[in-house]
Amino acid sequence: MTAAAANLSGAAWLTGGSLSRLLKVLDCDGEEARAVGGAVRNALLDMPVAEIDVATTAVPDEVIRRANAAGFKPVPTGIEHGTITVVIDGAPFEVTTLRQDVETYGRHAKVAFGRDWKADAERRDFTMNAFSVGRDGKVYDYVGGFDDLKARRVRFIGDPAKRIAEDYLRILRFFRFHAAYSNGGHPDAAGLAACIAGREGLDQLSRERVRMELLKLVVAKHAVPTLIAMTDAGLLLRVLGGVSYLASFENMAKAEAAIGAPADPVQRLGALAVSVPEDAERLWQKLRLANAEHERLASMGQEWRQVAPDEKQARVLLYKLGPERYTDRVLLAWSRSPAGAADKDWHALATLPQRWTAPEFPVKAADFMQRGVAKGPALGAALRAAEDAWIAADFPNDAKALAAITDMAAKSENS
């Protein structure tokens, strides 16, 4: 890929829709505006373009004035750093005035607004994230991004140690982008060395930010070799706070592919770092996981060693856990079994929710009350006994079998 060959004039996301309207408003009357960052990178790689950020020479107040005049909705989401979120027909665009860091304090920086596109590009993290494109489709590269994009190389802009000291989250972003955009080879040597040297800075980061980066990393295309590189560098232990299971993680990715399931960040995190429920507790605290994420991981760590290719027992597990947690636990067990991703028995076990829906327990409290079981502990015990018998009988639904189960449980409580 060369600068001469890079032109996005035919890109629909750039020339049509809300972005085109926004650039037309900002890119005129002495001011310039361009789409920047990840959207341009992905477009050059023929990858989907999702969030689109815009940079402009116009100061925030002028951005707000122009947005209001055009009937858009400007929201000052980060006005102290020059960022206004402009909402057009429900679509949000972050519009940031060109800036240059004057002083940095970790993630926080004192900035000055300017009109220098090269200086603005040089303050970004990686060369592949510093592209900008005008509404005519011309792509600008001030930091060697074209060569790095062609080589699928994630490289810090300028001095890697300086970039990292500005925000230690860039250590995790370095590996996350390597996992997503490289060809799976070794990370850039200078960047890797700087990440190792700056590893203590990871302890300064908020747990929420670490969680966000890690959950994106584990589902990236080349997550396996990237996590191996992080382990070799002594960084993964620092992030997870415990042992990692790289073989299980790799097998989980293969099992997902074998059953046609999309990469699931919670399942993959479980394969990487959970062996017992206490591991889920540690990760909950270490990464400030959402409650639902923590509960899934705790369930994965519970009795996964007892899972085996037995469909009758699998139906019991599916009934008790529900489809999501059932799949979590089965895939974890599969990833740690001697069986490979092509194993037909494990494949059948993992895809059981696609073939069988667990029925609702058909016996009700009224059925026992009609048989003389009084309300209270005895009624609860009868219901539990009947449900256990129903499950053991493989979920019968015929009236005769249900009556027999109900009679037996009622008799036991009435005796």
Contact 120, 14 (CB under 8 A): no
Q: 21 is written with which tokens?
A: 């309207």
The pLDDT value given to residue 206: 96
Q: Cα-flanking dihedrals φ and ψ of residue 47, to 5°?
A: -110, 160
CATH of domain 158-240: 1.10.3090.10
Break the chain into its structural domains and give their ranges. Answer: 12-150, 158-240, 244-358, 365-414
Query: If you write DSSP's letter for every residue of 29-90 in order, what string do you get?
Result: TT--EEEETHHHHHHHTT------EEEESS-HHHHHHHHHHTT-EEEEEEGGGTEEEEEETT
Query: How many degrees, rounded to 5, is the angle at CA 78 between CA 73 and CA 84?
Result: 30
The pLDDT value given to residue 104: 54
Residue listed under structure tokens 């004039």: 9
The runs of H, that is alpha helices, within 260-322 are 265-273, 277-287, 291-300, 311-321
Q: 19 is written with which tokens?
A: 């972005």
- Which residues fall within 8 angstroms of residue 199, CB to CB, at 6 or more apart? 171, 233, 234, 235, 238
CA-CA distance, 214 to 240, in Å (whole number)?
10
CA-CA distance, 300 to 325, in Å (whole number)?
7
55 residue type, one letter: A
Question: For 90-127, b where at least 16 C-beta lie within 10 A, e where not — what string?
Answer: eeebbbbbbbeeeebeeeebebebeeebeebbebbbbb
- Given a cut of 50, the residues of the chain with pLDDT beneath it are 1-4
Q: What is the pLDDT of residues 203-255, one digit of tens each?
A: 999 999 999 999 999 999 999 999 999 999 999 999 999 999 999 999 999 99
Query: If you write DSSP's letter for every residue of 203-232 in order, what string do you get?
Result: GGS-HHHHHHHHHHHTTSTTHHHHHHHHHH
Give the β-pairing of 108-113 and 99-105.
Answer: antiparallel
Model confidence, pTM: 0.89
Q: What is the pLDDT of residues 70-109, one digit of tens each?
A: 999 999 998 888 999 999 999 999 999 998 765 555 555 5
Neighbours of 338 (CB within 10 A): 5
The pLDDT value given to residue 245: 97
Q: What is the pLDDT of residues 398-409, one digit of tens each?
A: 999 999 999 998
The class that CATH gives domain 12-150 is: alpha beta
* 130, HSE (Cβ side, Cα atoms, 13 Å): 24
194 residue type, one letter: A
Q: 77 is written with which tokens?
A: 């989401």
343 residue type, one letter: D
